Structure 1
Amino acid sequence: MSRLQYLVISTISLAILACGHTQKQHSLSKHEQDSLAMRKQYASSPVLDGKAAIAAMQVDSGLEVQLVAEEPMVVAPVNAVFDERGRMWVVEMTGFMPDTSGTGEEKPDGKIVILEDTTGDGVMDRRTVFLDSLVLPRAVCLVENGVLVATPPQLWFIENNNDKPGKRILVDDQYAAGGNVEHQPNGLLRAMDNWIYNAKSDRRYRKVGNKWLKETTTFRGQWGITQDDKGRLYYNNNSENLLGDYFPPGLGGKNPHQQNAAGYDQRIVRDNHVYPVHPTPGVNRGYMKGVLDDSLRLVEFTAACGPVIYRGGLFPAEYIGNAFVAEPAANLIKRNILNDSSYIVKGKQAYSGKEFLASTDERFRPTGLYNGPDGALYITDMYRGILQHKTYITTYLKNEIKMRELTQPLNCGRIYRIVPKGQRPEKTLMTPEQLFSMLGNANGALRDKAQQLIIDHNMMQLVPELRAALKDSHAPLKQVHSLWALEGLHALTYADITGVLQQGNDPLSVQALAALPAVLNAAVAKPVATTLDSLADKPFFTPYVAYLLPALNKADKAAATKLEAKLIKNYAQDRYVSAALINNATNREAALLKQLVATNPDTALALNKQLNVVLKSIDNAANVKKMDALGKTYPHGYRIFNTVCQTCHGKNGNGIAAMAPPLNESNWVNGNKNTLAAIVLYGLTGPVEVHGKLYKAPEINGDMPGIGGSDEFSDSDIAELLTFLRSAWNNKAGKVTTEDIRNTRKQYNGRQKPFTAGELSK
């Protein structure tokens, strides 16, 4: 569809239909008339009740969608977690985008609510407000006797006194500092390794006694995070189907200078096509060629979020281990099939040309997917007309929202579950007596919860049984969770680890290696070093061995140095081992490169190339003081950078994998100021060359949205942002004035679509 054809459709279609201008309609091509007919059919977006909304859904054969809750029982749900009684703790982000300008978004009307089915009919009938008066809350997690709640910018731990909030403990006052509602940390996934991980974040948390630990980890995703049966993490960003880790989450992320470490933040499913069952013109860049097809349907992900690995055990066997991804902009849920090859995970879409679940209801906005304690797949549905945040909303989308009256209502929300047709899942209660046996349950949600409860209640009386379960090779799932339950109770020993390794079960051995840092100390460093040296000769285990170097280094520096030298000599060409070696080289990257070159000067080696990237990143990081000073000189520009730019381009300006290229030393930032203004106002799409390197999808998000259509920023604000960027890091370019921004707007008056690099280079 040409831009002209689409603009004709989007700007005059309703006038033609309303006024009966048949003569004008006959002058249009058949293609345009077909598009107008589709617009007429979907000119409105009626609000459906829960049952009618289910009738508008198409789901895989043999499965059905059931209503769990709808307004007023739940409103605008964005995140949920189950407790041991099968109740849902739900985050309600009521304040999200009350209109296209986000008016009143800071109003404290968000809530954490507890939903319960007291009758056993599968429908939630009791609503308890645990917390209210929250501003845009985004995540919840249950730990011991309390609740972790993310309310930007803080992360709080709040004691639970019979479903009433008690003492508050501030866990992190900078949990979600900076960014906007679409680009702030979220998730709070309590993972198999007993740490709590987040999307859009490089931090993890853990409660030990009365203290909260906080550590840096690998930066992951945008909205939503999940794990598989091996404890590996999966996530995505809005234009990527599925990203994830090949290795256990706690092994990487030790070197703060290292970005884009091979084996973490990998593209698990590269195919980003989606297949809506109705026209979806109400997407932010729907006017752009290629965003919608000839039937006005979205072509590729634009709001991917809320992934889950199905581990419920209720669906047919072919669904187990599949990855499901929500796409609220196209009103659908994607199914992907994953496969392991050695330690590498790859996936593909389950179908070509269709979806696992797709709705004709434009207000169906799935925000998160969850394994339920009953084995069902649960869906939180925000049920809103407006999905796009004000920071990036385009004039085109504002018009779409106005034409089809999508702003109201704001008091809707749904929770659904998907089950085999005709089944009514039974409510599962978890008593202390059942917890040990549940570690081997077919339902991963129950296994996870049983492990967590054993740790939360400090059930040391189970240690002998847990230790015995490590030897039961007939129950591999129970072995894994018993191992991590022991680790969580601080009862794991080196003898437990060696006993597991001696079984010769590679997947289980990986879990033992991931847990090894918990027991590695000077007393056992020598035998550990011997074991790791032996495993280093087995290609499957080599990356894991390299990732254990930081832990070994703390216990026996000499042994770690010797093992590191062996790995450098034998595996400098391996990208995954090289990434693990750099993970162990914080503040000695230059020395490591010198050591490598002394033995092998080949600059094509993976380790050589990766070290040079890190060393450049370190040089750029030296600009911290300069950035602080610039922030005081250009406070408005610095604020916009923190809330908009850095979420994709990185705080250090060096770009983020799968998101955006560097701003630091960028030829676009330092070049013609009018060109830069055009990019920031209207956006940039397609491949772009920075530092002589061509960046394109899927290496980065294929489109950078402009902010020129946002009511949030004035022309003087944008001018200050560009001046800030052209002075930041190693950039050395001139100022941009408010008049420059106004002139650029005049030059491109009426433009909506982003520029291409080719257009701007002319």
Structure 2
Amino acid sequence: MSLKHTTLTHIFGILLLTPSFAEKMLNQLADGTLAPLSIEESLKHIEVPNGFKLELVASEPMVQEPVCFTFDSDGALFVCEWNSYMQDQYGTDQDKPVSRIVKLTDTNGDGKMDKRTVFAKDLMLPRSILTLHDRVLVRFTHNSTIWSYFDDNGDGISDRKEIALQGSSVGGNIEHQDNSLIWNSDNKIYATGQIYQFRDGKLTQQRSHGRYGQWGLTRDDVGRIYGSHNSAPLKNWFNLGGYPMGNPSLAKETFKANFTCEVDDATDSGRNVTATGGQTILRSEQFGELKGALVIPDSVRRIVKLVTLDQNDGQITPATHDDYKNTEFIRSADTYFRPVWTGMGPDGGLYIADMSRGIVQESQWFPTERTKNPNKDWLERYYRTKAWGMLKVNSRGRIYRLIPEDSANLESPIQLSTVSSADLANYLEHKNGWWRDTAHKLIVCRNDKSAIPNVRKLLNSNNPFTRLSALQILDFYSSLEKKELKSALKDMNENVRVHAISLSEKRFTSDPDFFTLVSNLATDPSPFVVAQLYLSTEKLNTTDSINLRKQIVSSHPNNIAVASLDRKKNKLRGSLKKYIPGHKIYQSLCIDCHGQGNQGIESMGKLFAPKFTRNSRMADKVYLTKVLLHGITGPLGENEETYSAGIMPPMGATYTDQELADVLNYIGRRWGKWKKDISADEIKVIRAATSERKLPWTYSEAKSKKS
């Protein structure tokens, strides 16, 4: 049984205790080292909200180094293990293909996994996984290819694999590479940086508007996608999946870490989150009033944070729940509690992957005595964790589930893989999101039209999420009739109307009636409907569509969503309009550290990274190119400016010469007063000339004409 929250902030959440302040830390032995707790003891020190309990689902040796997971349609858990990740402080042999995907099964229905099979082995750090009707999609580190794995004889071990979508090698830090695969309401599969569709047994890449976040991805019942970034628990939500991203400002309270473990190995004293990712939206009735809130782990702060998602004038507004303004949803004083991933289970519980290890920092940001020009604070962290004995704690792992104390209302597993497509339609009416998503996914991926009659009946369901799923499935099979879509545009539920507008888009050209029909919604009382109307007509470059959007903007002055969309659309003006490709890269790559470029982002009392205004370095094309290709570390400029980020990672292996030229031209034209663009060929020459460079530059090296 885990501890419950107290009414006052836990004392360890008030101060960051270092060895000089702590009399004795939870894990500390007589020699000063921090020993791992037993599974039972560790569980006792994980505090959860009143009314809930945390149960162990699996632990080492059944699962080791879990980084992400997914459930199949029968309730089995597929877990990606990073068995080579930071096995010592130097990241020795990290790129050795020894990682695994394990399949965990609960054979007796008691909520604990009791059967384990190694589904696939000798892998390169698997980072994305999704089960479909007859295969498991997997993506690995350092390559964008997506593979299909098949278990033909049902023994829990993959028998064969084939390429689902050919990709290419990917360079750069493993923390920055694309990850996650989730099924969305629009019949598409989303990753942090790409969108795919599975149709007729084939996976194809779809148009994307940039990168949603860094590690992990989730969706809500409507189909909005929510990303995150280390120090930002929410990023790039706003619209339905597949539409341009919005990134509204977050209230300062949502960044706060209201609990700090005694052993906090971040380099700052800890008041904000610093390593968030692996988020989930609570989409089951078992969570009562918390249903619809977002939860996200922070493995450095040893917490799982909860953020409510309130609706305000067409915008989803994140806020801190009143019960967690001075605490966190889940927290632990155990040094080795390292939550990195969450997901909803078929039982309605929240599942949490805990790596239960010492280091959760990739080697590029974990300098040691071998590192040239290390960040001083980071190096001190290394010696601190070494003295505590944390470097040797690895090859462990736990998976927990958070469920109500009264577990009588948990859902019982059903083998949905054996249910006919026609009967799967019944599960589209389920009250919990996991069941609706899984039934939806199976109906679409099986390519079985026998489900269509039963799905059509669901257009009259009392559940609005069922109705919008039925619309999307019928549209996938080209079976959605005009009268049905017209009716959906008048649906009593705003979310159904939003989806109906979206589905009308591709009919604007072939059937002009639909533009007229959606135009009637310009005065709709729902701010979300008019925001979607603005988005859905953006692609139409007609006088009528332009006038419609002007009408929407003028008629809804208090609609935050519409105002934001209109500003974003018109952001690049005059001479900058031709640099939209570079602007898009900047918005997805650079903005997390440099902000909008004018003011920068403040962290730990100073700028996280340089701002670009009144920065003479922005005029130096060669310097900027070298920095983007190979990164830079240490003080910058003649005045030796320091920034809390400490290092800019290299981007040369991740981005092409043309992409680097695009973003440099945008930056140079906007802030560097460039009169002439840099070409991809010029980037190519500088790349070749510096190809021997293995480490990030120092400022003097990057400015040197000899390097």
Q: Indicate the TM-score class for this superposition, using the shorter chain for normalisation.
A: 0.7 to 0.9
In the alignment, what sits opposite 1:279?
262
Q: Which residue number in structure 1 is paired with residue 9 of structure 2? A: none
Quote the residue 1:475 is aligned against: 463
Aligned pair partner of 2:215 in 208, 213, 223: 223
Question: Corresponding residue for 2:6?
Answer: none
**Cα 1:668/1:363, change in 2 over 3 Å:** farther
How do 1:36-55 and structure 2 match up within 5 A?
A: 37=23, 42=28, 43-55=32-44
AA aligned opposite 1:512: A
Contact 2:285 2:432 (C-alpha < 8 Å) held by counterparts = yes
Report if the CA contact (8 A) 2:65-2:82 is conserved: yes
Match in the other structure for 2:13: none
Q: Does 1:206 align with 2:189?
A: no
Question: What is the percentage of aligned positions where both structures have the same residue?
Answer: 25
* Amino acid across the alignment from 2:98: D
CA offsets 1:300-353 (integer angstroms, 9 cap, x no match) = 1110111111012212x2111111110110111111222112421112222122
Shift of 1:499: 1.4
2:179 corresponds to: 186
Kindly tell me: are residues 484 and 741 of structure 1, through their superposed partners in 2, closer, same or farther at Cα, counting changes over 3 Å? Answer: closer
Q: Which residue of 1 aligns with 2:634?
A: 682
Aligned to 1:18: none
Give the Å deviation of 1:87. 0.2
User: Paired residue for 1:699?
Assistant: none
Distance change in 2, residues 1:561/1:670 (3 Å)? same
Give distance in 2, aligned partners of 1:619 and 1:62: 50
Question: Are the equivalent residues in 2 in contact too, given 1:282–1:401 (CA < 8 A)?
Answer: yes
How big is the shift at 1:274? 0.9
For residues 138-153 of structure 1, the aligned pairs below 5 Å read 138-152=127-141, 153=143
In the superposition, relative to structure 1, how do residues 740 and 482 fare at CA in structure 2: closer, same or farther (>3 Å)?
A: closer
Paired amino acid for 2:546:
E
Q: How far apart, in 1, do the equivalents of 2:471 and 2:512 lie?
A: 23
Preserved contact between residue 281 and residue 400 of structure 1 (Cα < 8 Å): no
Number of aligned residue pairs: give it: 611
Residue equivalent to 1:571: 553
Matched ranges for 1:21-36 at <5 A: 35=21
- For residue 197 of structure 1, the aligned residue among 175, 183, 190 is 190
User: Which of 142, 160, 169 is matched with 2:163 structurally?
Assistant: 169
Contact 1:83 1:89 (8 Å CA) reproduced: yes
| Matching residue of 2:513 | 527
Correspondence for 2:77: 88
Partner SS for 1:35: coil
- Alignment equivalent of 2:419, drawn from 424, 432, 441: 432
The alignment partner of 1:75 has SS state of: coil
SS class of match (2:532): helix
Find the aligned partners of 1:703 and 1:319 in 2 and give their Cα distance: 35
1:463–1:569 distance in 2 versus 1, CA, 3 Å: closer
State the alpha-carbon separation in 2 of the partners of residues 231 and 728 from structure 1.
34
CA distances 1:706-734 after superposition (whole Å, capped 9, x unpaired): 37xx9x99xxx9xxxxxx99x96447899
**AA of the residue aligned to 1:220:** Y
Give 1:43-122 correspondences, 5 Å limit. Answer: 43-122=32-111
1:370-449 maps to which residues of 2 (within 5 A)? 370-393=343-366, 394-423=378-407, 425=410, 427-429=412-414, 430=416, 431-432=418-419, 434-449=423-438
Is residue 235 of structure 2 the alignment partner of residue 243 of structure 1? yes
The CA deviation at 1:148 is 1.4
Distance 1:327 1:613 in 2: 42
Q: Deviations over 1:270-299 (max 9, x none)?
A: 42111225313312x1xxxxx31xxxxx21
Contact 1:191 / 1:231 at 8 angstroms: preserved in 2? yes
- Look up the equivalent residue of 1:667 and give its one-letter code: S
> Contact (CA 8 Å) 2:200, 2:445: kept in 1 or not?
no
Measure the CA separation in 2 of the matches of 1:619 and 1:233. Answer: 22
Q: Is the 8 A contact 1:439 1:446 kept in 2?
A: yes
Question: By how many angstroms is 1:427 displaced?
Answer: 3.8
Q: 1:244 to 1:51 in 2, by over 3 A?
A: farther
Would the aligned equivalents of 1:45 and 1:361 in 2 still touch at CA under 8 Å? no
- Which of the residues 343, 346, 349 maps onto 2:320? 349
Cα shift at 1:269: 5.4
Q: Deviations over 1:200-222 (max 9, x none)?
A: x2x20111214322123232111
User: Matched residues in 1 for 2:698 and 2:493: separation?
Assistant: 66
Check 1:303–1:463 CA distance in 2 against 1; reply closer, same or farther (3 A cut): same
Q: Which amino acid aligns with 2:60?
A: E
Q: Which amino acid aligns with 2:314?
A: Y
The 8 Å contact of residues 222 and 235 in structure 1, kept in 2 or not, is answered as yes
CA gap 1:265/1:647 in 2 versus in 1, 3 angstroms: closer
| Secondary structure, counterpart of 1:391 in structure 2 | helix
Mapped pair 1:617 → 2:610: no
Q: Does 1:157 align with 2:154?
A: no
Aligned to 1:667: 616
TM-score under structure 2 length normalisation: 0.76
Partner SS, residue 445 of structure 1: helix
Write the deviation string for residues 47-78 of structure 1: whole angstroms up to 9, x where unpaired. Answer: 22322221111111111110000011111111
Unaligned runs of 5+ in 1: 1-30, 254-260, 286-290, 293-297, 582-604, 625-640, 690-701, 718-723, 746-762
Asked whether the 8 Å contact 1:187–1:198 carries over to 2, the reply is: yes
**1:465 aligns with one of 419, 431, 454:** 454
Q: 1:32 to 1:76 in 2, by over 3 A?
A: closer
Report if the CA contact (8 A) 2:633-2:699 is conserved. no
Change in Cα spacing, 1:267 to 1:450, as seen in structure 2 (3 Å) is farther
Q: Is the 8 A contact 1:322 1:337 kept in 2?
A: yes
Q: Is the 8 A contact 2:299 2:339 kept in 1?
A: yes
Change (3 A) 1:46 1:669: farther
CA displacement at 1:397 relative to structure 2: 2.0
For 2:232 and 2:247, locate their aligned partners in 1 and report how far apart those are by CA, in whole Å: 11
Distance (whole Å) between structure 2 residues aligned to residue 705 and residue 511 of structure 1: 44
- Unpaired stretches in structure 2, ≥5 consecutive residues: 1-16, 367-377, 603-607, 654-659, 679-685, 702-707
CA contact (8 A) 2:522 2:533 kept: yes
Query: Quick one: which amino acid aligns to residue 215 of structure 2?
Result: W
1:55 & 1:136 partners in 2: Cα distance? 31
Q: Partners in 2 of 1:159 and 1:46 — Cα distance?
A: 39
User: What is residue 8 of structure 2 aligned with on the other side?
Assistant: none
Offset, 1:127: 1.3
Shift in CA distance, 110/655, structure 1 to aligned 2, threshold 3 Å: farther
Pairwise CA RMSD:
4.3
Q: Which residue of 1 aligns with 2:371?
A: none
Where does residue 369 of structure 1 map in the other structure? 342
What is the alpha-carbon distance in structure 2 between the residues aligned to residue 305 and residue 226 of structure 1? Answer: 10
Q: Return the offset for 1:157.
A: 2.8
Aligned match of 1:303 = 275
Q: CA deviation at 1:532?
A: 2.4
Does the 8 A contact of 1:373 with 1:446 survive in 2?
Answer: yes
In 1: Cα distance, 2:180 partner to 2:60 partner: 24
CA distance in 2, matches of 1:455, 1:496: 19
Is this contact kept in 1: 2:346–2:411, CA < 8 A?
no
TM-score calculated relative to the size of structure 1: 0.71
Distance 1:213 1:117, change over 3 A: same
Distance 1:569 1:742 in 2: 53
Change beyond 3 A, Cα 1:305–1:619: closer
Corresponding residue for residue 314 of structure 1: 286
Asked if the contact 2:632/2:698 (under 8 Å) is kept, the reply is no
C-alpha separation in 2, matches of 1:33 and 1:67:
31
